[in-house]
Homo-oligomer: A and B are copies of this chain.
Amino acid sequence: MLEIEIKVRVPDIKAVREQVIASGGVLTETLTEHDSYYNAPHRDFGITDEALRLRETGTKTTVTYKGPKDTILGSKVREELNLDITDPKIFDSIITRLGFVMVAVVQKRREYYQYQDFTISLDQVEGLGNFVEIELISDSNAEMAAARVDETAIKMGVTGERITLSYLELLLSTR
């Protein structure tokens, strides 16, 4: 399973929202995501380009491992493994006992839109600004999926600078 995704910093998130809705995109969820990122004791995820994240949304808690990013046609491609858990505090205790260290917290308000088989996220990130993510989950042919993501970006007016850094990396780079 591959995640094909672009992220673009947008000056006017309201204009993008209007275009997504005008194109038939449907708001499926609005939520606040509180993400805690951990680094490993035996290797530096900043160097290996991995991520271990604990995400709390108020209704759900998920642990995610992300493998190293690859780039195909300007889109990020990386392995993503998601595990639903019941108790964020216990997870934090266990992973801390195992020697992992919480290195950053990213908090954002996110609107999810479903448009065709794309997921479009409008993100207001605390301390960073506004961003749009366009994502496609694909079993095969990353090149074709990346081209479709490009078309949708143009259609929605999401034409600014593409950012390959994660919010975590953006946040750490401002420190």
A interface, CB within 8 angstroms of B: 40-43, 50, 52, 63, 65, 67, 79, 81-87, 90-91, 93-94, 97-99
| Closest B residue by C-beta to A63 | B94
Are A81 and B65 interface neighbours, CB within 8 A?
no
Find out whether the CB atom of B85 lies under 8 angstroms from the CB atom of A97.
Answer: no
| Nearest CB of B to A158, in Å | 31
Chain B residues within an 8 Å CB radius of A52: 98
Contacts of A79 in B (CB 8 A): 97
Taken together as a complex, chains A and B put the C-alpha atoms of A81 and B97 apart, in Å, by 10
Given known contacts A81-B93, A87-B83, A90-B83, A99 and B65 CB-to-CB distance under 8 angstroms: no
